[in-house]
Amino acid sequence: MTPGARLQSAIGILTGIFETRQPADRAFDAWARSSRFAGSKDRAAVSEIVFSVLRHRAQLAAATGSDAPQLLAFAAIALLQGEGADAAAARADGTPHAPSPLTDDETAALRAAALPGPDAPPWVRLNYPEWLHPEFEAALGNSLEAEMAALMERAPTDLRVNALKATRDRAMALLADENVETEPTPLSPWGLRLTGRANILGLASFRDGVIELQDEGSQLACLATGVTPGEQVVDLCAGGGGKSLALAAMMRNRGQVHACDTDARRLGKLMPRAQRAGIRNIQTRTLGRFAPGAADADLADLEARMDCVLVDAPCSGTGAWRRNPDARWRIDPETLAGYRAAQSEVLARAARLLRPGGRLVYVTCSMLPSENEKQVEAFQAAHTDFAAMPWRSLWPADIAPPPHANDGAYLRLTPGSAGTDGFFIAILRREG
């Protein structure tokens, strides 16, 4: 592909993302599948333009005075890739598959464009919606600039070593034999971090269940549950089951993990993963709708019996913006309100399942207080028999020391402070 064709492809992908709010990874994958002529270097170049625009959309819009995907893509090449306005505009030469030549107004805007300086508002310089600024400011305080800058960086690719099949050192050696170089993650005892690129799903180590893709922060959330062999555990929002697999491995295949979700399609992927990992103590169940004031037919047999319920709640995903930079532009007040309502509902559903002395572990990949501390406070106000536990109280010190993080009841992980995705973890014990 020519440079112009790469740029035009990026503009087409961005236009679809802006118009339909389709997740960027799906839009890019759809383009790649339909563009068999594009080699690996072409795909990498197109991806670089697309995701540069999504990470820096507010900056580029302020620089050009426009939110049109075409001009933002040209500005990304001119300002972020350092080609300059004239070189970027030269890609629009009217040749087949290249963009049409820029208009005089577009050319003038591109030549005048400059990235916002230090006096620009933080939501412009650091690329997040202005309406979320009060929440981020309340959550991050003096760390706001550093943390929001960290959320603009690319996330590393982390793996979790399946402790039922290999030690971390053994897994590193197996991966090295497949020409995949890794290094230990600094916080999780199970974690490996890629130091280069690799097709993880095509590796023998993956097919044999030695490794799984999982961010280090997600691994730490599993450790914080403190699950032990023989316990009865519910993963109430299991999705594809990444945390269920980690919990089952912590339990050494003894006891039971009940992996539950309302999405049968996603949950259906779990049992093949469990079989590959050598895990035998997981069972799945698909859940229907829940009404807090009515009986819960789907989970009636588990009520007041569980030692631990993990609620990996649906949320805004603001802590994972490094991986999904387009998500920062899809969130709106109505969507956030919907997440908060879902969080309240799933917490109420979880409360019924715990025996006296059992614990509820509430986890989000959000950095917003309205989804984190405020949700826990509202839950405790409605469920006075639940008391917050310090997050270190259940940490399995025989597996790994707890991370150096904040004191208090809640564990907060952020890209800037921990190098992980943003996570919030609260542990609530049922008294009586």
Q: What is the pLDDT of residues 124-171, one digit of tens each?
A: 999 999 999 999 999 999 999 999 999 999 999 999 999 999 999 999
How confident is the model over 379-405, as a mean pLDDT? 92
Q: What is the pLDDT of residues 243-285, one digit of tens each?
A: 999 999 999 999 999 999 999 999 999 999 999 999 999 999 9
> Distance from CA of residue 185 to its chain's centroid?
17
Largest CA distance in the chain: 75
Q: What is the pLDDT of residue 148?
A: 97
Distance of alpha carbon 20 from alpha carbon 431, whole angstroms: 47
Strands 232-235 and 306-312: parallel
The secondary structure of residue 198, as a DSSP letter, is -
432, pLDDT greater than 80: no
* Residue/partner pairs of 180-189 with CB below 8 Å, 24 or more apart: 180/205, 185/158, 185/216, 185/219, 186/216, 186/419, 187/216, 187/220, 187/400, 187/403, 187/418, 187/419, 187/420, 188/158, 188/160, 188/216, 188/219, 188/220, 188/223, 188/400, 189/399, 189/400
401, pLDDT greater than 90: no
Distance of alpha carbon 147 from alpha carbon 5, whole angstroms: 36
Strands 158-161 and 182-184: unpaired
Q: What is the pLDDT of residue 114?
A: 95
Structural contact between residues 192 and 204, judged by C-beta atoms closer than 8 angstroms? no
Exposure pattern of 46-82 as b/e (b: 16+ CB <10 Å)?
bbbbbbbbbbbbbbbbbbbebebbbbbbbbbbbbbee
How confident is the model over 12-28, as a mean pLDDT? 93
How many residues comprise the chain?
Answer: 432
Exposure pattern of 405-421 as b/e (b: 16+ CB <10 Å)?
beeebbbbbbbbbbbbb
Mean of the per-residue pLDDT values for the chain?
95
Q: What is the pLDDT of residues 308-326, one digit of tens each?
A: 999 999 999 999 999 999 9
Q: What is the pLDDT of residue 40?
A: 87
**Phi and psi for 258 in degrees, rounded to 5?**
-95, 105
Distance of alpha carbon 298 from alpha carbon 290, whole angstroms: 9
Q: What is the pLDDT of residue 11?
A: 95
| CATH superfamily, region 216-430 | Vaccinia Virus protein VP39 (3.40.50.150)
End-to-end CA distance of the chain: 68
Q: What is the pLDDT of residues 73-105, one digit of tens each?
A: 999 999 999 999 999 999 998 788 899 889 999
Listed in sequence order, the residues at least 6 apart from 407 whose beta carbon sits closer than 8 Å to its beta carbon are: 390
Q: What is the pLDDT of residue 272?
A: 95
Domain 3-120 identical in fold to domain 158-213? no
Q: What is the pLDDT of residue 140?
A: 95
> Distance from CA of residue 188 to its chain's centroid?
17
Q: What is the CA radius of gyration of the chain?
A: 23
Based on DSSP, count helices (H) and strands (E) in the chain, helices before strands.
20, 12
Structural contact between residues 382 and 333, judged by C-beta atoms closer than 8 angstroms? no
**β-strand partners of 363:** 312, 425
Question: Could you confirm whether domain 3-120 is CATH 1.10.940?
Answer: yes
Listed by start position, the domains of the chain span 3-120, 158-213, 216-430
Above pLDDT 90, what percent of the chain? 89
291, pLDDT greater than 90: no
Q: What is the pLDDT of residues 33-59, one digit of tens each?
A: 998 888 889 999 999 999 999 999 999
**β-strand partners of 136:** none
Q: What is the pLDDT of residue 408?
A: 82
Q: What is the pLDDT of residue 96?
A: 82
What is 158-213's CATH number?
A: 3.30.70.1170
Q: Which amino acid is at 345?
A: E
More confident site: 407 or 60? 60
